[in-house]
Structure 1
Amino acid sequence: MEAPLEEIEFLARSQNRVEVLRLVAAEPRTRQELATATGASQATLGRILEDFADRSWVSKEDRRHAATATGELVADGISGLISVLETEQKLRPLVAYLPTEEFGFDLRHLADATVTVPTRTRPSAPLQQVRTAIEGADTLRAFSHTLNEQTLSTVHEQVTGGDYAFEAVLSRSALEALAADASLWSQVRELSRRSNATIRVSEGEIPVAALIADGTVSLLVRDEHGILRASLSTDSAAVREWATDRFDRYWERANPFSPLDFN
């Protein structure tokens, strides 16, 4: 019997092995169906299925190959490992900037997240991704240590243009930065007068910049110098639950906003 790591190596050396095991774990397949799905030759499939049969991962009945109970176990495990590594590769360029100590969810829940990074031709791509999420929603809740010009402008347009509902908890330092710019502060003041917008002030720091647009959560990832490195957008229920809970906690502890407090 081979050691577990040797079995992992056996599977990892061939994408066809992984795909065949995952396919027969999903439902019984004929060899022709496997050939169509994988593009592998009949000779290759014959060797793979023979190796799997030797390990009792696959059985055959009426020309169809199906995963055994232990084959399904291995297929589930290798699929989970692949998902973890895909998520790790997606997050690897950002791991130095992610405030993971603030995340109340497993990073596996970012597996389906859309990661948008700035490029030379699209330096504002992360903010554009956030703007798209905001414009496509009916409600927006946010908690953040900063509010950039593009996001504020989008929120202002949505709130003043219809029934869009906006609630935000901003750190005092974020509001002080906005107050230093007459044009931005004018938009903040107008938001404060709207019945469909409410801003509250957090006296403590907010280490994460997050927006909840309907069911979509967007996280803005910045480095130690405040430079935007990426935006992560996800519909994960676990991430949404974390973001909603964190928003509620900040909201309860925050104070009502008044522009007069920042004169």
Structure 2
Amino acid sequence: MTDDPARFLADSPDRLTLLRRLSEGGASPSELADDLPFSRRSVQRNLAAFVDRGWAESGGGTYRATVTGTLVAEEHAAYVDALDRIGEFAPLFRHLPDRDHAPDPAWLAGAELTAATDDDPQAPVHRYVQSVKRLDTDRVRMLSPVLSRLFHDAHASLAMRGVHTDLVMPAPMVRRARERNPTEFATVVRLDVLSLYRCRDFFSVGLVLGDDRVLLAAYDREKRLRALVESDDARVRAWAAELFERYREQSDRVTE
């Protein structure tokens, strides 16, 4: 018997399935073989291994998971789910600068991912524009490492509805926006619907935080949007709010 429980379960996915089934209630080997797509021989062999490990106990021909077995099943299942979710959202994580800029994978269970592909490299851009226009909120907190006319027009639609935006941008992007169109820049800064902040430190992640929804954008080294994740999970919203405040605290309010 191997002493490594993780390796023991990983060597055969059937073992985790069987252990989780035992955690739901006791059963005989024949009942387990009927419930699961495993042979009775396989079931009996794994049951014996579970008993040896203290993960299951038997009595009267019925096997049940012990508390230890139930905890092992829960934790290993969570581990497997986390790895699957990391793989699912790899297009996002791949382009985030570090771990501090990545939400916990467990929080992304119900999130929507839009990633750039060779066939549709602009997919996350189009999704971003559509999602921003659909936001139902009175205030938006936003991190933007890039200047984009498409993004500008999408957020302008919010401004037309009276939605206030707190926008944090890296100092070089603020300077570039002012240089491109000084008159428009001055007009936008004077509007009551925008509070612009100039961040002293550069950042490469995008964020839009509404009342009940978060958009998290990951960019490559060429500042191209490569992945967009949308989530209404309360834990993601709390994490996003903390990330936004971290950058706003490093920033100065821009006036005309």
Structure 1 residue identity aligned to 2:170: S
Measured in 2, the distance between the counterparts of 1:194 and 1:123 equals: 34
Q: CA RMSD in A?
A: 3.5
Q: Deviations over 1:95-153 (max 9, x none)?
A: 553211543x7744555354321123322222234334432331321123224232222
From the superposition, tell whether residues 147 and 43 of structure 1 become closer, same or farther in structure 2 (CA, over 3 Å). Answer: farther
- How far off its partner does 1:219 sit? 2.5
- How far off its partner does 1:253 sit? 4.5
Measured in 2, the distance between the counterparts of 1:42 and 1:132 equals: 53
Runs of 4+ in 1 over 6 A off after TM superposition: 61-64
- How far off its partner does 1:90 sit? 3.5
Q: Give the equivalent residue in structure 1 for 2:238.
A: 241
Residue 136 of structure 1 pairs with residue 135 of structure 2: yes
Identity %: 24
Residue 202 of structure 1 pairs with residue 186 of structure 2: no
TM-score when scaled to structure 1? Answer: 0.75
Measured in 2, the distance between the counterparts of 1:193 and 1:38 equals: 66
Secondary structure class of the residue paired with 2:192: coil
Structure 1, 173-182 or 30-39: larger mean CA deviation: 30-39
Measured in 2, the distance between the counterparts of 1:10 and 1:110 equals: 28
Q: Give the equivalent residue in structure 2 for 1:211.
A: 208
Structure 1 residue identity aligned to 2:218: V
TM-score when scaled to structure 2? Answer: 0.76
Measured in 2, the distance between the counterparts of 1:248 and 1:17 equals: 45
- How far off its partner does 1:173 sit? 2.0
Structure 2 residue identity aligned to 1:165: H
Measured in 2, the distance between the counterparts of 1:16 and 1:178 equals: 58
Measured in 1, the distance between the counterparts of 2:43 and 2:149 equals: 57
Q: Give the equivalent residue in structure 2 for 1:49.
A: 47
Q: 2:76 aligns with which of 63, 75, 78?
A: 78
Measured in 2, the distance between the counterparts of 1:179 and 1:66 equals: 69
- How far off its partner does 1:82 sit? 0.9
Q: Deviations over 1:200-244 (max 9, x none)?
A: 233443343222132433322222222322223344544433331
Measured in 2, the distance between the counterparts of 1:185 and 1:53 equals: 76
> How many equivalent residue pairs?
252
